Amino acid sequence: MRIGIMGGTFDPIHYGHLNSADEISEIFNIDQIIFMPAFIPPHKKAEKITDIYHRLTMTVLATLSNPRFAVSTIEIERNDYSYTMDTMRELKKASGKNIKFYFIAGIDAFKEIFTWKDADRLLKSCDFIISTRPGYRIDDLSNILSNTVSKKHKNIKFKIEKKNPFCGFPGLSVIGSKYYIYPVETTLLDISSTDIRRRVAEGRTIRYLLPETVKEYIYKNKLYR
Ligand code: ATP
Ligand code: MG
């Protein structure tokens, strides 16, 4: 069984998240995508983030109708900073050997990987699927990584794998592990939670940027005003 983990703040969840998860599940033949709302996203410490119960509810509402989508509360139950390495460790510990995990991230998030806790170990603990996002290039994933592999990360090396069964651009294998980093081209949707929050604050339309139920939830609970 193949499981994709889609981490995020989901403040709020939108069609950019949902469509890339859906297309990735099709391309990689993934049985289930687990949306994992971060309780305290370590990289967004300084920003004002909406209460987790609102973010969780919106994520549940948005994913309800897709039988392949699920939502996990394990980062919420940890009640602390949400480090992906801790999450992956917990998930692997709780699941059988026949489960293969893929961590899904957009290129904008992944290019900061070396600021994540235990990045080296994380890259050697599961496959990564990296999706496109408007304004970012997916074709130079290896450049992005080699530019960001600082002196601190000498113990992690990648090999370029020209043959990538999932997309036209080369993937990378993480040397000293059995894991890969797969770039993938999904339909580019220039939607962000930041833009949605700003639109709501300005009283502008968000109707076709996220599911109707999430839009209703935002208005009903007066979020982002
Ligand atoms: P914010 O603007 O608040 O940062 P966001 O729209 O970037 O919100 P996040 O919750 O930060 O959403 O993103 C979670 C994950 O989803 C990240 O890996 C991010 O790259 C990816 N993602 C977000 N929006 C899109 C999109 N439009 N297309 C593809 N991937 C996306
Ligand atoms: Mg973001």
Q: Quick one: pLDDT at residue 12?
A: 98
Question: How crowded is residue 100: how many other Cβ atoms within 10 Å of its Cβ?
Answer: 15
Residue 186 Cα to ligand 1 midpoint, Å, equals 13
Rounded CA gap, 127 and 70, in Å? 19
Q: What is the pLDDT of residue 20?
A: 97
Query: What is the CATH architecture assignment of 2-191?
Result: 3-Layer(aba) Sandwich (3.40)
Confidence of residue 197 (pLDDT cuts 50, 70, 90): very high
Residue 204 has pLDDT above 70, yes or no: yes
Of 163-167, 178-182, 195-199, the least confident? 163-167
Q: Measuring CA to CA, how many Å separate 125 from each of 53, 94, 121?
A: 29, 15, 6
Res 201: pLDDT: 98
Residue 41 has pLDDT above 70, yes or no: yes
Given a cut of 80, whether residue 46 has pLDDT beyond it is no
Domain spans, the chain: 2-191
pLDDT bin (cut points 50, 70, 90) of residue 212 is: very high
- Ligand 1 center to residue 222 CA distance, Å? 22
Summarize the confidence of residues 157-183 as an average pLDDT. Answer: 88
- Residue 202 corresponds to which tokens in the numbers above? 């300005």
Q: Quick check: 194 pLDDT over 70?
A: yes
Provide the whole-model pTM.
Answer: 0.95
The pLDDT of residue 34 is above 60: yes
Q: Which ligand is nearest to the CA of 136?
A: 1
In the reported structure, the alpha carbon of residue 114 is separated from the centroid of ligand 1 by a whole-number distance in angstroms of: 18
> Counting runs of H as helices and runs of E as strands, what totals does the chain give?
9, 8
Computed over every residue of the chain, the mean pLDDT equals 92
Does the pLDDT at position 210 exceed 80? yes
What is the number of the ligand 1 atom nearest to the C-alpha of 195? 2
Residue 98 has pLDDT above 70, yes or no: yes
CA of 116 to the centre of ligand 1 (A): 16
**What are 71-91's pLDDT values in tens digits?**
999 999 999 999 999 999 999
User: How is residue 58 annotated by DSSP?
Assistant: H
Mean pLDDT of all residues in 35-40:
95
Token pair 């076709």 in the structure block, residue: 208
In this structure, the strands spanning 69-71 and 171-174 are unpaired
User: What number is the average pLDDT over the span 130-137?
Assistant: 90
Confidence of residue 198 (pLDDT cuts 50, 70, 90): very high
Predicted local confidence at residue 151, as pLDDT: 60
Residue with tokens 């139920």: 213
Q: Whose CA is nearest to atom 6 of ligand 1?
A: 192
